[in-house]
Structure 1
């Protein structure tokens, strides 16, 4: 099979061609960007030959990941004058989608490199655009075909991925990298066999699954040819299938059942008479001792389930269903991994002029506030406090003010996200959320105290007489759809630190989060705008203190 890499070469020249030299002479802090060529080199496996006609788009991004120049086709990229700085140059397939999976999906290439433009110096950067997806194909030995006939095989993955490979299917399918892949053989009559291909599919790799038979226990062998990025996975399928009296459900790809520190085990007991308690046994795959838990029967069915907790983050487990001397197949799953949220105790702060930042650097690098907008004319509304004003170490103090030029009023706030003042459209200054690929939390807890002042500004919702504080958490999936939300609203003054606990309700348990925010504000409606004016009801002087936030995972 032929193989391909798309290589993009960029030349960054700090001096201009003769026609532009005078501009550079006048602006020594600028450089000249020129895209030279796109070449084809055959060294990464793909299903089809890619030629120089592959349409490659190019983005030039600044340090904040904002696109400063884009071309749908690299050939159409005009010469660009850029300020002296460090840039990321990203090249990628312009007319394809990386998330498309299956036989009809097309190869998607991407790559990037950074370059520092310096005045009066020539720069060269090369980008190698590699296949961003994984390829998978299924081959059946003659022994397998003669034993099992025309049974259908499926390659299964995350988010209910299931690609059927018929008896004579020879094509390879493209799937998203990073997910666990399993081959499932469906024998009919409710019988099937599953085997994991890989716990994490690598980009630019081809997994060739070879199905064969064995009279003994099932198993598989993997051989790797790194020169062409190909895995040969030989899966040995037992010729005799286990009884369906006890069936362990395979939950490894069921996002709704596998979380960070707990899992819902499930299975079925089809015995005519159940004379013993139905149970589940589970353990870490690296350990030998099993833990037994009682199973709960779903009313009116032969299905059973059990919640097991606490489990360890990012850990592989084995489990099976049992009733007396009857057991189901042993299956596996891996819990979600832990990703830390920085500065949840609010002990880390940095000051720059009148502005305070709840980060180790003097910027809104993770936590953000509206301070930079307010301090143009007022003092910061969100500041650190310590000593008697904090519960431990330092705490965050947020205060609502009025008499703010243009917007009228400003609530103190602290949130995970970014803030950049937009004078024409103040509501667009805030962008909530940061990338998050960790385990799904189920609760947000912490401590707060609050001074609620009488409403003296705003018209909406129009029913408040005293101000309300608000603390909430929100999670989104990769498509930007909200999948989880929980909030706390305080309407009364509390003069000592008091615990709060927020249960996170997941509207979609089949999706894992890609973005998360936590927000605290001294006025619940301080972010409601009409045009450039705050219209939400707020009370000047309302003050919220928060400290020692914590996320729980079971």
Structure 2
């Protein structure tokens, strides 16, 4: 492809008609501008994209970047009187979108130059417009088509993915200034990628030719400046899996692909390793690769590396390499993020409830119900005030105050807050609580937040003693659990019995009992008395202390 050139002639008339001369004499400090013609540069050999009827708009721009004169069609811009100053004359395609990309995008031309307007003087100005985009096409050799019967090819860039189906002969326009990568997908998670250029140049044509090789992949570029053309030849290995370097396919391995990290794996069978074994990885939509050193598993030829942080619900590419030896390119997609509502506990509602006296029954949701988060307030307010309530105590918005209280019939009620359901069952209080809500998001690896704790003054007597020890002070607990079906697959707990008077950060790492399953249910629980949920019949029998109070705020789940 030849460089497309438009030459826009902007001329200040050397001899103005007498009426203009008298106007200039009266307007000292002004110059006279006239756009006399727009012409097509006849020296350009290839003119398939432009004709002499190309619509060109013109802007006259002052030093403060203000357009002082505009014409959608240069023919409409006639005599213009301008104050003495320096102006930018900008000419561009009037009816096309410079940002458009793909086969349907039209060529967009632009150019500009500066001119200094002097009092009572005329100057000739010429603006040369050229193609503002780049072009790209892909051609597959017959050898390539024979070697790979089933493949798909795309050219990818910044927010760009152009499919080049088999025998596609058209070229596509793309924005200048971006990197371009050709990607060949062979199916089954196997693909080949090669960057064409780090930065596309305006008015250049990138002709990509895909061929095959029996050895390692190769990449060659030849540039013809006279016609503004890059001839890019990419030779793809016919054998996509090398016996020397084998990239492990983790696409369907749940234990290795998480929400914001992944464990890459591969095998290096080289007899002599002269360079460090590494992995390269990137988002499929990106062109730039990141590199990370691989760690060898002792006594094997297996290598692995943890890459983080990654983006949720995003497809990545990766391969193993050592020196000039590489494994095939494989892909995986990270787990999606699903928000847990009201983790900052700033949303609360209440309704009046109670047996004889109506009291505020507080709910940590916006709909006056235990619809996602729940508490035992619905049962407590039958006889007492809510013991799980919002408070304003120095942190941003609301915090949660959970208090252990004595209550008729069950004996005690620990303040609690949890993801799940609560429906009061006086004949079987233990069944009032159902922990967990459906969850389809990425697996978290840690729960953190802020807490204060004041254990009650004295432990109750006659309580059931934990099998591992006797409590001398009440304990608060914050924990998270995840299930796959009915199977618990991950859990983490934070327990404390100290008096903590200032908000303090807590962290609760999550231990996965089974990393080969994804969760479909989650709960987070906070309670002022760890054993406040131990029942025998209708009575609480767990060790606890009346008056124990836990404050919590701003929970956060981490994913790497």
Same fold? TM cut 0.5: yes
Give matches, 1:147-158, under 5 Å.
Answer: none
Query: Cα deviations across residues 331-367 of structure 1 (Å, max 9, x unaligned)?
Result: 0000000000111011110011120000011000100
Contact 1:384 1:396 in 2 (8 A): yes
Partner of 1:537: 543
Runs of 4+ in structure 1 over 6 Å off: none
The separation in 2 between residues aligned to 1:272 and 1:488, in whole angstroms, is 49
State the Cα distance separating 1:301 from its structure 2 match.
0.4
Larger radius of gyration: 2
Partner of 2:265: 266
Matched, 1:378 2:378: no
Matched, 1:460 2:484: no
Contact 1:215 1:239 in 2 (8 A): no
Q: Secondary structure at the match of 2:430?
A: helix
Q: Structure 1 327/241 Cα, relative in aligned 2: closer, same or farther at 3 Å?
A: closer
Give matches, 1:65-464, under 5 Å.
Answer: 195-196=188-189, 240=239, 242-353=241-352, 354-386=360-392, 389-402=393-406, 404-453=407-456, 454-457=458-461, 458-461=463-466, 463-464=470-471
Query: What is the alpha-carbon root mean square deviation over aligned residues?
Result: 2.1
Contact 1:215 1:240 in 2 (8 A): no
Contact 2:391 2:398 in 1 (8 A): yes
Specify which of 480, 483, 495 is matched with residue 473 of structure 1: 480
The separation in 2 between residues aligned to 1:543 and 1:451, in whole angstroms, is 5
Q: Secondary structure at the match of 2:264?
A: strand
Q: Secondary structure at the match of 1:427?
A: helix
Partner of 2:489: 483
The TM-score normalised by the length of structure 2 is 0.56
Q: Secondary structure at the match of 2:188?
A: strand
Query: Cα deviations across residues 306-340 of structure 1 (Å, max 9, x unaligned)?
Result: 00000000000000000000000000000000000
Q: Secondary structure at the match of 2:514?
A: coil
The separation in 2 between residues aligned to 1:409 and 1:398, in whole angstroms, is 13
The separation in 1 between residues aligned to 2:240 and 2:311, in whole angstroms, is 32
Aligned residues: 325
- Name stretches of at least 5 consecutive residues in structure 2 with no aligned partner: 1-146, 148-185, 191-209, 214-235, 353-359
The separation in 1 between residues aligned to 2:263 and 2:300, in whole angstroms, is 17
- Name stretches of at least 5 consecutive residues in structure 1 with no aligned partner: 1-146, 148-192, 198-213, 218-236
Q: Structure 1 485/307 Cα, relative in aligned 2: closer, same or farther at 3 Å?
A: same
State the Cα distance separating 1:391 from its structure 2 match.
2.0
The separation in 1 between residues aligned to 2:283 and 2:240, in whole angstroms, is 25
The separation in 1 between residues aligned to 2:394 and 2:558, in whole angstroms, is 22
Contact 2:535 2:541 in 1 (8 A): yes
Q: Structure 1 241/540 Cα, relative in aligned 2: closer, same or farther at 3 Å?
A: closer
The separation in 2 between residues aligned to 1:524 and 1:471, in whole angstroms, is 9
Q: Structure 1 196/277 Cα, relative in aligned 2: closer, same or farther at 3 Å?
A: closer
Specify which of 500, 503, 506 is matched with residue 509 of structure 2: 503
The separation in 2 between residues aligned to 1:313 and 1:266, in whole angstroms, is 20
Contact 1:392 1:547 in 2 (8 A): no
Contact 1:280 1:294 in 2 (8 A): yes
The TM-score normalised by the length of structure 1 is 0.57
Contact 1:390 1:547 in 2 (8 A): no
Q: Secondary structure at the match of 2:523?
A: strand
State the Cα distance separating 1:460 from its structure 2 match.
2.6
